[in-house]
Each structure stands twice: as structure tokens, then as C-alpha cells.
Amino acid sequence: MQAMRTLLLSLVTGSLHLLVLSFRRRRSTHRHDLLDLVLVRLTPEQVARAEAANRARRHITHALICGPFGQMFGTEQRCRKHFDSWNPAGERAVFPTLFRQAVELDDFAIADFSNTDDLVQRLIDAQYYAKERSSSIT
């Protein structure tokens, strides 16, 4: 009987765990995907947190969120320059296979307000490995 109760409890907790995971997965589809390139106009509170985290010499107004690769904070001009270059639908499209889409938002929840120091190198490496994988498959 104890073994049956333990099995039943593990089945219930396992299904609850799967339910929580599926709920999280569904919830995350409403937000932007991890592989989106997102240009964000920061709120005053986010500006203060970003400037504190990065010891900014210039006034930070925007962020460029590059999915799992990292993020950068800076002026609109600096972030937009990279956003336009890395946009997969753009004319230059430096990293055409890394991002699903590029979007501009005024409201975005940011967890980490520090610049990713080696962001460009991470993107270059990811682009290189993506090309390697695609050439080895064909």
C-alpha cells in the first residue's frame, strides 16, 4: 500500500511538474522568443539601473537584447546602429541566421542590466557554428 501511495504521489507530482513546465512554455510564447533581436526604449527606472550597473559615461536610453547571446546598453544612436546591422531582414544583415526577427519595443522586462562584454564575439562564434552545422548536414 505504501509503494502504491508513493507511486501515485510521484505520478501526481510529476504531472503537476509537467503542467507547470507546459504553462511556462505557453507563457513564454506570448513574450518575445529568445532568438529575437529586440531594441528597447528604457523606462526612467531601467535607465537608472543600467547606468548604475555599467558606470555609464554617457546617458543610457536604449538597450539591444540579443536573445541568449547577451545585451548592450547605450544611446539610441549606438543601439540602433547595431540593431540595423544585425536585423535579419535588413539590407546588411551581418548575422542573418541568428535571429528570428527584429522588433522595437517601449516596454520590455530586463533581468540583467550589465553589458555583455564579449557580445560581438559571441555572435560571431554562433554564426560560425551555425554555418558549420548547416554545411555538415548537407
Given a cut of 60, whether residue 135 has pLDDT beyond it is yes
Closest of 79, 81, 62, 65 to residue 33, by C-alpha? 65
Residue 108 has a pLDDT of 94
DSSP string, 69-93: G-EEEE-HHHHHHHHHHH-TTSSS-
Distance, first Cα to last Cα, the chain: 56
Q: At residue 130, does pLDDT exceed 60?
A: yes
Residue ranges covered by each domain of the chain? 1-30, 32-137
Q: Cα dist. 110→47, 53, 63, 121 in Å?
A: 11, 13, 9, 22
pLDDT digits (tens, 9 = 90+) for 85-112: 999 988 888 988 899 999 999 999 999 9
Say whether pLDDT at 18 is over 80.
no
